[in-house]
Structure 1
Amino acid sequence: MSQEKKETYFSQLDGVRFLAVALVLVDHWLTERNPFPLGHLGVTMFFVLSGFLITRILIQSKLKDDQFGRSHWFSVKQFIIRRSIRIFPIYFLSIFALYYFDVPPVRETLAWCLTYSTNLYIAINQHWMGTIDHLWSLAVEEQYYLVFPYLILFLPTRNYLKLLWIMIVISIGFRLYFYFHGSPWLIQYVLMPTALDCFGLGGLMAYYFTFKKDEVFEKIANGRLVILSFVVYAICVALTQIQQKETHQIYNFGNLVAERFFAAVFCFFLIAKAVAGYSGFVKWFFENPVFQYLGRISYGIYLYHNFVYNYYHTPQTSIVLRGLHKIQRIIPYFTLNLGFELLYFLILTIMLASLSWYCVEKPINYLKKYFTY
């Protein structure tokens, strides 16, 4: 591995990606049997991680532009091309495959899918989209990419901290506004502006890592702060659930306003420590070769998992469930065995994501070397 690659690649972050996607899978496949907001935490983890990685890439690009005396539009072009190479191929292949096989509601919402605006469709129509529910978070990230790179590349570096804190405040402000105006919960859950505190905290991490590594970053990359922030987040979740039981209302101030922020703060410290490097058991977990591999293919795992199985929308006639039932008929012990069913769905998802990685994503990713910053 080259020296430049060593300086830009943080191995434990693949372990973080695995953790994030694992939380989402457990939440989506267990559904009501899981009382904890694991999926929400997993998506928040992805958002904070994206905020860190994208902001760091853009800051480094801006510094290189200044060093070489080139236009920042060069880095805009490189960013768009590299992101497109990484994200678009399997996303659009999936959409076209779902369209071809007439998987609802893709044909009815094709324009929303192709323009990465399924989150807007969900917010406007106040309902989810079946097997493509999860695409809302990919839409949020793409909408974030439409604006944020220009801010980092064209604003003076002295304004970065102000920008990132404004993003955090605006995001919380949006959630407060929607909450006190009684807006449906889906609006504040799926819109890009309401997730800006996650991206902003990730951006703060990138700023401190780049410009204040000794003074600030090494202080926030602290295991004690990871534990403390998790305790605060867990208390927030517990208080939210207590309020739900007392008021008999599913949604309240806790899970509509506060929970995402405290989850993002926990992810901020968790990821900062992973960038610096964990030791002990956490190091083993995040650097385990199996988990590292699953982290590398986590985009495919996330994209495909709902197509493999969705508790609410997968018909009993699907090839996945027919295969499961055939195994259960052959080995009755596995009938109504939740652990086996989850393992079965996981193996199929990993197989599909691995096929996608080696046949599509990895070969296409080689093109990125022609578009370096």
Structure 2
Amino acid sequence: MPTSASVRPALNHLQQLDGIRFIAVGMVLFDHWMVGRIELPLGALGVTIFFVLSGFLITRILLSSKDKLSNQPNGGIGKYLKTFYIRRTLRIFPIYYLTLFILYLVNEPPVRRTIGWLALYATNLYMARHVSWMGTVDHLWSLAVEEQVYLFFPLLLFFVPRRWVPLTAGLMIIGSVALRYVLYQARMPWFIGYVTMPACLDSFGLGAIMAFWWLYERERFGNVFSRTRWLWISIALFIIVTTLTKVLPAIPDSRGWAGHHNIMSDVWERLAASFIGFFLIGRAVIGFKGPMKWILENPVSQYMGRISYGLYLFHNFVFNVFHTQPTHFTVRAWRRLSEMMPFLNSSYFFQFSFYLALTVALATISWFLIEKPVNNLKDRFSY
């Protein structure tokens, strides 16, 4: 059993993971703002990488905390849960609820209409129940998935014996893929298998396996992730799956939803994307060398990774290809700016850069005025 002294190094900050956050959120922003120009599943890949990363980080935290508290009455479950949930609350809730409050005050339609669902982190459940997207708050489904995982995963890891953690994670992976297959065979709308929490658990399961190896089987961790070829193989697998998605015939959606969907996109794409996250994150934990090291560790990547929560949270409200109205303040500001400097209309690059600059500015303000000061309070509740 690890001692508390051996637990702390396992929780040290892993610098290159901030760079991974930057890559993942960059994929999401690029995908959402380039709809109709470039059709690649980069947004889905970015979200999946975040899920694998969350699975790794929370499993690492929870298992380390469980080890540290194991000599306390009842295994220290009270402190174990209290510390985890307080730290998660301080990190996630303040800026999320402040954003909802402000958008409610300015009468953002989907926020006004579904505020109860949003407040309960049930965006994905609303989508599944009503078989409908939610406009500018669509992207909050992934935050809902993470919060729902946090509801059961700490208890699961506490009561499952350590030696059974990999098996448990493996069952999460198998069960998630099987659920997506069942939904596909039942011809349910494809996005139900995309946004519901149980259908995302293969990503978290792979992250949990990675954390277990990092904590207790470090030699295996090194053997698997020190070889970059596995990352390239996973990327090739993802390309094959996405190519087959386009090549194989589309299955008509029962409710007429647009898009080219079949068994590859609806069942296997997330698992293939999860393997990219698995090998990318594992290699970053060990530490990339060469050009990739610079990409992940340069000051821009590190900073953008730190503010990635704000970037993800705000970007859809700054601009959304499908839902942003011509009267929206960012669109009006862009129109005014391009009228003053007509050359800006020569390329979408300038408009993209404008929305990116606004999003970075908002995330920066959020980070320094709210997130960072609140995060500092977490030091009072150490693992």
Q: Output the TM-score relative to the length of structure 1.
A: 0.96
Aligned twin of 2:36: 32
Q: Alignment partner for residue 20 of structure 1, among 21, 24, 48?
A: 24
Matched residue SS, 1:262: helix
Give unmatched runs, 5+ long, in structure 2: 1-5, 253-257
Residue 11, structure 1, aligned to residue 15, structure 2? yes
Measured on the aligned residues, the alpha-carbon RMSD in Å equals 1.7
Q: What is the CA distance between 1:154 and its match in structure 2?
A: 2.2
Q: Is the 8 A contact 2:225 2:286 kept in 1?
A: no
Q: Which amino acid aligns with 2:176?
A: S
Residue 355, structure 1, aligned to residue 361, structure 2? no
Q: Alignment partner for residue 329 of structure 1, among 339, 357, 362?
A: 339
Residue 298, structure 1, aligned to residue 308, structure 2? yes
Aligned twin of 1:209: 214
Identity of aligned residues (%): 45
1:265-280 alignment, distance < 5 Å: 265-280=275-290
Aligned twin of 2:3: none
Aligned twin of 1:59: 63
CA distance in 1, matches of 2:361, 2:121: 26
Aligned twin of 1:41: 45
Summarize deviations over 1:130-157 as a string: whole Å, max 9, x none. 1101000000000000000011122211
Cα 1:155–1:6, aligned 2, differ >3 Å: closer, same or farther? closer
Q: What is the CA distance between 1:159 and its match in structure 2?
A: 1.4
Q: What is the CA distance between 1:245 and its match in structure 2?
A: 7.2
Give unmatched runs, 5+ long, in structure 1: none
Q: What is the CA distance between 1:319 and its match in structure 2?
A: 1.5
Q: Which amino acid aligns with 2:299?
A: P
Q: Which amino acid aligns with 2:306?
A: R
Residue 183, structure 1, aligned to residue 168, structure 2? no
More moved, 295-304 vs 307-316: 307-316
Aligned twin of 1:252: 262
Q: What is the CA distance between 1:126 and its match in structure 2?
A: 1.3
Summarize deviations over 1:286-318 as a string: whole Å, max 9, x none. 001111000000000000000111111111112
1:128-277 alignment, distance < 5 Å: 128-244=133-249, 250-277=260-287
CA distance in 2, matches of 1:223, 1:277: 11
Q: Is the 8 A contact 2:251 2:261 kept in 1?
A: no
Q: Is the 8 A contact 1:52 1:206 kept in 2?
A: yes
Q: What is the CA distance between 1:246 and its match in structure 2?
A: 11
CA distance in 1, matches of 2:64, 2:259: 46
CA distance in 2, matches of 1:364, 1:215: 37
Matched residue SS, 2:202: helix
Q: Is the 8 A contact 1:51 1:199 kept in 2?
A: yes
Q: What is the CA distance between 1:216 and its match in structure 2?
A: 4.0
Q: What is the CA distance between 1:218 and its match in structure 2?
A: 3.2
Cα 1:264–1:252, aligned 2, differ >3 Å: closer, same or farther? same
Summarize deviations over 1:37-78 as a string: whole Å, max 9, x none. 000000000000000000000010011011566512211110
Cα 1:302–1:5, aligned 2, differ >3 Å: closer, same or farther? farther
- The number of residue pairs the alignment matches comes to 371
